[in-house]
Amino acid sequence: MITKHVERSIPRISLRDFDNRIDDITAELCKAAETDGFFSLCDTEISAEEIDSIFETSESFFGLPDNVKATVPFTHKNVGWEKNAQVRPSTGTADMKESYQMQFGSNMVDKWLPDSALPGFKPSAQTFMHKAQSVSEKLMRCFARGLGFPDDYFIAAHDVSRANAQTVLRFLHYFALDPSIPVPPDHFRAGAHADWDFLTLLFQPAGSSGLEICPGRDVVTSFGHGDSWTPISFARGDIVCNIGDLLMSWSDDRFKSTFHRVRAPSEPGRDWFGPRYSIAFFNQPCADAVIQGPGRKYEEVTGEEFTRRAMERNFAALRRKREELEAKREGGREAGGEMARAVEASA
Ligand SMILES: O=C(O)CCC(=O)C(=O)O
Ligand SMILES: [Fe+2]
């Protein structure tokens, strides 16, 4: 599919003087959530230097040999390391990346490398997770207010001090590509998807390009997206945030969980072909959190059930995509056969 690029700008929201400005910030956040579902944050408690430093930590992890990273493999508890293994239903092909996911709770047992493998890694990752959680809790307070819930309603549902917390910090490394070898059009660094968490915080070194968004989704139960994409750039030290399917559902579809992707570089001279690093913090509900919007549009579900259904929808969409690709390949083989017969007949 040919990409149509559309200029849009996402709002930049300052968290300066948060306690005194909470109502103004709430209004800005809700407006952003109701439109494109993406916004960037500045003046947070995470400094640009802290973001630089966590990228050094992430690069040191990815610099380890694969056989060391493979000692903490990805599991269905949504933690651990994977490489070339995440297939998106939108593409049917694996993202060109590796990633390592960490959590706060008991799912991380045996999923941290020993300190001798990467001295200081675990405490620096955990310190950063707590800072990202603290920024997230400010946003949760505002979104609760905006929806008419008590201020600490979403914070309690995402309590990372509980053993059944599911919130994730994800380090991502998209591989360097050779500019002389064109990437097929259906291959992406990260294929189009919507996040199924409550709210995602994204960090990038300034100047890394590739992230694109495609707003326009009306209901959380639909899987499709349009074809008008907008590139998003990051100012140094800013955090780009997006609403996930869980908050879209919890707001009765008022706040939008928007499709996004990371395009592969395609034009030497314009695009960056070197490695790309990013960090995502996914706010996931505790397994026993009870989820229902103020207007009760969707039936009440637990955090565990919501996640299970989101994964099921994802796998069903992936199955459909695989069948579609298989049918195309069969069609291609048959058309190829017809062509061969036609050539034979005309020879
Ligand atoms: O790397 C990025 O910029 C985006 C990553 C992302 O969307 C994800 O992992 O869900
Ligand atoms: Fe995402």
* Interval 152-168: pLDDT, tens: 999 999 999 999 899 99
| Index of the ligand 1 atom closest to the CA of residue 210 | 3
Position with higher pLDDT, 138 vs 270? 138
- How is 66-131 classified by DSSP, letter by letter? HHHHTTSB-BTTTBEEEES--B-TTTSSB-SEEEEEEESSGGGTT-SPPTTTSTTHHHHHHHHHHH
Supply 88's token pair: 């998106």
> What pLDDT score was predicted for residue 73?
97
Name which residue sits closest to atom 9 of ligand 1, judged by CA.
Answer: 280
CB 168 within 8 A of CB 103: yes
Cβ of 190 below 6 Å from ligand 1: yes
Name which residue sits closest to atom 8 of ligand 1, judged by CA.
Answer: 280
Label residue 297 by pLDDT band (50, 70, 90): very high
Q: Which region among 67-81, 83-97, 164-178 has the lowest average model confidence (pLDDT)? A: 83-97
> What pLDDT score was predicted for residue 335?
52
Cβ of 261 below 6 Å from ligand 1: no
Find, among 160, 169, 174, 259, the residue nearest to 218 by Cα: 259
Task: From residue 165, give the alpha-carbon distance in Å to each of 187, 205, 244, 245, 285.
Answer: 33, 28, 17, 18, 7
CA 245 to ligand 1 center in whole angstroms: 15
Q: Residue written as tokens 């800013």? A: 238
Taking residues 45-67, what's their average pLDDT?
97
Label residue 1 by pLDDT band (50, 70, 90): low
Q: Is the pLDDT of residue 339 over 80?
A: no
Torsion, Cα 17 138 47 164, to 10 degrees, reads 160
Position with higher pLDDT, 108 vs 221? 108
CA 244 to ligand 2 center in whole angstroms: 9
> What pLDDT score was predicted for residue 307?
85
Q: Which region among 33-37, 165-169, 325-329 has the lowest average model confidence (pLDDT)? A: 325-329
Position with higher pLDDT, 121 vs 332? 121
Cβ of 172 below 6 Å from ligand 1: yes
Distance CA 48, CA 53 (A): 9
Sequence-ordered list of residues with C-beta below 8 angstroms from that of 156, at least 6 positions apart, any chain: none
Label residue 199 by pLDDT band (50, 70, 90): very high
Cβ of 262 below 6 Å from ligand 1: yes
Q: Is the pLDDT of residue 49 over 60?
A: yes
> What pLDDT score was predicted for residue 137?
98
Label residue 334 by pLDDT band (50, 70, 90): low
For the chain, give the mean pLDDT: 90
Label residue 44 by pLDDT band (50, 70, 90): very high
Cβ of 96 below 6 Å from ligand 1: no
Cβ of 264 below 6 Å from ligand 1: no
| Index of the ligand 1 atom closest to the CA of residue 208 | 3
Cβ of 192 below 6 Å from ligand 1: no
Task: From residue 275, give the alpha-carbon distance in Å to each of 31, 174, 189, 227, 228.
Answer: 35, 6, 10, 26, 26
Taking residues 179-208, what's their average pLDDT?
91
Q: What percent of the chain has pLDDT over 70?
A: 95
Q: Is the pLDDT of residue 290 over 80?
A: yes
> What pLDDT score was predicted for residue 2?
59
Q: Is the pLDDT of residue 347 over 80?
A: no
| Highest-confidence segment of 85-94, 109-118, 174-183, 217-226 | 109-118
Residue from 51, 167, 211, 263 whose mutation best tests the ligand 1 pocket (most atoms within 8 A of CB): 211
Cβ of 33 below 6 Å from ligand 1: no
Taking residues 87-115, what's their average pLDDT?
92
Position with higher pLDDT, 309 vs 331? 309
Instruction: Say whether the ipTM exceeds 0.95.
Output: yes
Q: Residue written as tokens 């952003």? A: 32
CA 120 to ligand 1 center in whole angstroms: 25
Task: Please classify residue 194 by burial: count the beta carbons closer than 10 Å to its beta carbon, then call 0-12 exposed, 13-18 middle and 19+ buried.
Answer: buried
Cβ of 278 below 6 Å from ligand 1: yes
Question: Does the pTM exceed 0.90?
Answer: yes
Q: Residue written as tokens 């579900």? A: 301
Taking residues 75-85, what's their average pLDDT?
92
Q: Which ligand is nearest to the CA of 240?
A: 1
Supply 90's token pair: 């939108």
Sequence-ordered list of residues with C-beta below 8 angstroms from that of 9, at least 6 positions apart, any chain: none
Q: What is the pLDDT of residues 124-160, one digit of tens each?
A: 999 999 999 999 999 999 999 999 999 999 999 999 9
Strands (DSSP E) contained in 129-273 are 168-174, 190-193, 199-203, 211-214, 228-231, 239-243, 259-262
